[in-house]
Amino acid sequence: MSHDDTTDGTGMTDEEKRRDQLTSAPDAVESDADPRIDVTHRDGVTRIDIRDDADVRPGDPTKDPQE
């Protein structure tokens, strides 16, 4: 079973549930569900990177991330 298979009876994949949740708020727009991370798997190692084009990023928004 892949991570996108449905197991809860909703008939929705994990990606469809994610998109539905992120776009259901009253002022939400379709771009709210855009990907924010890239996940790569290589040689038994999983790497998670925050995308450069992500509107929402972790960390303190008042500080320059380069500092």
pLDDT tens-digit series, residues 4-38: 455 677 889 988 998 999 999 999 999 888 888 89
Quick check: is 20 in a domain?
A: no
Per-residue pLDDT at 41? 96
Per the structure, the count of domains in the chain is 1
The token pair at 18 is 């994610």
Indicate whether 48 belongs to any domain. yes
- Confirm whether 5 is domain-assigned: no
Whether 8 is in a domain gets the answer no
- CA dist 36 and 1 (Å) reads 24
Q: Is residue 15 situated within a structural domain?
A: no
Residue 3 has pLDDT above 80, yes or no: no
Q: 3-state class of 33 per DSSP?
A: helix
Beta 37-42 vs 45-50: how paired, if at all?
antiparallel
Residue 18 domain-assigned? no
Assigned domain for 41 exists: yes
Given this model, what pLDDT does residue 1 score? 44
**Each residue's pLDDT tens digit, 29-66:** 998 888 888 999 999 999 999 888 877 777 777 877 67
